[in-house]
Structures are given as structure tokens and as C-alpha cells.
């Protein structure tokens, strides 16, 4: 089974889970099949090869960079939970923190958010591919 064949199945299953409308889901799957033989799929194949090479690297800085980046992003997003408690008991403090965090998050370049999305999807796809191949557990 090629990398693309191993990728199409998991992506199709992901489409089933995230797109509730049957027509939109079918359209997304048709687009995925159309991409299978196109230049975009070749680019995706190249990107997946790079992701797998990073994940399989013996260098711990290389193999753990992507998951570490995701953990940092999770921490930033999960900061909303303690903020909810602060807002419940000290709304003025929460407002100040919120204004500071809003300014901070707005200052993060869009390219970094795009990198986060790409890294998240790439890491997830690589993990799924590894599970399909029996390499990851």
C-alpha cells in the first residue's frame, strides 16, 4: 500500500466525522479522489515524507519538535479555563488579563497560526498512517 493509499482512507474517515451534511461529505470525498492523481497530491506526498522523516529521526530535537509545538499551542488555548474562574470571582482582573491576552494573541502572525494548523493536521495524518502501517501503536 502506497503512502497516498494509506492517507486517503484515514482522511475519508475524518471527513465522515467532521462533515455532517451527506452532500457536502460526498463532495469532499470526490474532491479528495480528484486530488489523488493531481499535482496537489504530489505536494502532499512530499510533505508527508518530510513529516515522517522528522518523526523517525534519531535526533530528539527533530522528532519531538512538532509535538512540542502542539503542546505549547494547547497550553495557550487551555488558558481559557483558569480565565473563566478568575472572571467569576474578580471580573476586573479578568478583564485586564483578557485585554492583555487579546493583544498578545492578535500579535501572533497569521503565518504562525497557519503553521499550527498545518503541523496539527500533518502530525495527525502521520500518526494515523503509522497506525495503519503498524509502526505506531
Which triple of cell numbers denotes residue 42? 504530489
Number of domains in the chain: 1
SS (H, E, C) the chain: CCHHHHHHHHHHHHHHHHCCCHHHHHHHHHHHHHHHCCHHHHHHHHHHHHHHHHHCCCCHHHHCHHHHHHHHHHHHHHCHHHHHHHHHHCHHHHHHHHHHHHHHHHCCCHHHHHHHHHHHHHHHHHHHHHHHHCCCC
pTM over 0.85: no
Average pLDDT (67-76) is 81
In terms of residue numbers, what domain contains 58? 3-133
Give per-residue pLDDT as tens, 88-120. Answer: 999 999 899 889 888 988 898 988 888 877 877
Give per-residue pLDDT as tens, 24-43. Answer: 878 877 777 777 666 666 77
How far apart (Å, rounded) are the C-alpha atoms in residues 28 and 34?
10
Amino acid at each position: 500500500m502506497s503512502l497516498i493509499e494509506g492517507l486517503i482512507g484515514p482522511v475519508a474517515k475524518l471527513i465522515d466525522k467532521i462533515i455532517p451534511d451527506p452532500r457536502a461529505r460526498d463532495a469532499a470525498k470526490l474532491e479528495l479522489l480528484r486530488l489523488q492523481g493531481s499535482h496537489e497530491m504530489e505536494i502532499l506526498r512530499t510533505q508527508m515524507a518530510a513529516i515522517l522523516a522528522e518523526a523517525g529521526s534519531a535526533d530528539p530535537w527533530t522528532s519531538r519538535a512538532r509535538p512540542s509545538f502542539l503542546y505549547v499551542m494547547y497550553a495557550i488555548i487551555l488558558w481559557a479555563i483558569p480565565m473563566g474562574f478568575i472572571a467569576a470571582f474578580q471580573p476586573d482582573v479578568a478583564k485586564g488579563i483578557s485585554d492583555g491576552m487579546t493583544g498578545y494573541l492578535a500579535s501572533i502572525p497569521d503565518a504562525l497560526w497557519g503553521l499550527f494548523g498545518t503541523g496539527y493536521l500533518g502530525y495527525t495524518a502521520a500518526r494515523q498512517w503509522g497506525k495503519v502501517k503498524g509502526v505506531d501503536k
